[in-house]
């Protein structure tokens, strides 16, 4: 019997991407979709590319929960906690693509998102779903905080070096560039075509909400509190995030040691592709896929590790990773439904 999936927020970019991937997942049936903005309308009316492929009508959240074994919530922050409680009470798996369960510290959640933990016990049940780093924590759990886009790409670039103590955890810089789909489907001046096209700029420098999430992951890996400088930029492209991360190499650590650490760390990870020396991670090569490409470079003049990752922010940075988490929870091969070949051109 197939897993019945419900998608809440199905008409947003991440929700629509969940539909796109799940339609070809051999072990899943989309049982219901929900959208407050388009309730009663067909998804194919909102996204004509889904014509004849998904003509499902957007229903209420309650109906989606009732019909499903797993609920994917693609909602803005602040809207998932009550829904998670409803799913928990009903014994359903809840995978949150929003930020409500990502931070372990309520104080940090209040500082960066202006909200509170409505049910502290519920937050204790939630686990952070970055499979390549926390796979064993995910197995058997029912509330998953699906990491965001920047918070997937940057930690995967740095994880082997930080975990193995090869770099200093002080002075780490994360410089990321994202496609405009990361801003969501709702139009704004910043994502308006004349404002965006032929431009390129930083935004929310040293104040982006993903900062504490990246720090939380790196702190867990290193075993001590890590603070970073994080600066995101907006690229005039639809998809993709490239993160260039800088860290000072610890005394006595060689280039060969770093390369070996990365090779061993990712040798069994299908979705992380460690590129050969001299190659550069490129968002062109991961488009529409769940892959994270990582390239590592050493600046011998300044003794600096430059670790670069490239992901599709809508797949590995959102929907694909959520499905990868679902596969783990339901005992499926992680690759199921996710072996999507990036286009060559």
Indicate which residue of 54, 87, 149, 292 is catalytic: 149
Q: Per this entry, what is the length of the chain? A: 345
Sheet containing 272-274: which strands, arranged edge to edge? 201-202, 228-234, 172-178, 241-248, 304-311, 292-299, 272-274
Determine the Cα–Cα distance for residues 200 and 235; give it in Å rounded to an integer. 6
DSSP 118: S
What six digits make up the tokens of 12? 């947003």
- Cα–Cα distance between 28 and 30 in angstroms, integer? 7
**Active site includes 87?**
no
Strands 172-178 and 241-248, by their bridges, are: antiparallel
Could you give the CA distance from residue 114 to residue 108 in angstroms, rounded to a whole number? Answer: 9
- Name the nearest CA neighbour of 334 among 293, 291, 294: 291
With the CA atoms of 179, 116, 147 and 259 taken in that order, what torsion angle do they form, in degrees rounded to the nearest 10? 100
Contact 163, 319 (CB under 8 A): no
Catalytic residue ranges: 149
């Amino acid at each position: 019997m197939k897993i019945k999936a419900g998608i809440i927020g199905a008409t947003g970019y991440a929700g629509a991407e969940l539909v796109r991937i799940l339609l070809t997942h051999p072990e899943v049936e989309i049982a219901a979709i929900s959208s407050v903005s388009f309730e009663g309308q067909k998804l194919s009316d909102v996204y004509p590319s889904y014509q004849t492929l998904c003509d499902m009508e957007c229903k209420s959240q309650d109906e989606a929960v009732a019909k499903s074994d797993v609920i994917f919530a693609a909602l803005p922050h602040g809207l998932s906690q009550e829904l998670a409680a409803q799913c928990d009470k009903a014994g359903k798996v809840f995978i949150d693509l929003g930020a409500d369960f990502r931070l372990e510290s309520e104080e940090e959640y209040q500082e960066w998102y202006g909200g509170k933990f409505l049910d502290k016990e519920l937050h204790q049940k939630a686990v952070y779903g970055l499979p390549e780093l926390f796979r064993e924590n995910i197995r058997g759990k029912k509330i998953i905080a699906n990491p965001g886009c920047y918070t997937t790409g940057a930690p995967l670039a740095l994880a082997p070096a930080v975990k193995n103590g090869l770099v200093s955890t002080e002075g780490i810089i994360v410089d990321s560039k994202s496609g405009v789909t990361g801003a969501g489907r709702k139009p704004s001046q910043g994502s308006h075509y004349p404002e965006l096209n032929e431009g390129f700029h930083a935004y929310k420098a040293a104040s982006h909400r993903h900062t504490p999430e990246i720090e939380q992951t790196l702190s867990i890996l290193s075993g001590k509190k890590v603070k970073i400088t994080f600066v995101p930029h907006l690229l005039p492209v639809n998809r993709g995030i490239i993160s260039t991360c800088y860290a000072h190499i610890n005394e006595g650590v060689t280039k060969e040691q770093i390369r070996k650490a990365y090779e061993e760390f990712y040798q069994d990870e299908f979705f992380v592709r460690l590129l050969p020396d001299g190659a550069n991670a490129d968002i062109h090569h991961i488009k529409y896929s769940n892959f994270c490409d990582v390239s590592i470079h050493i600046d011998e003049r300044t003794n600096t590790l430059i670790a670069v990752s490239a992901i599709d922010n809508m797949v590995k940075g959102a929907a694909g990773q959520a499905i990868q988490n679902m596969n783990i929870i339901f005992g499926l091969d992680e690759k199921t439904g996710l072996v999507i070949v990036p286009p060559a051109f």
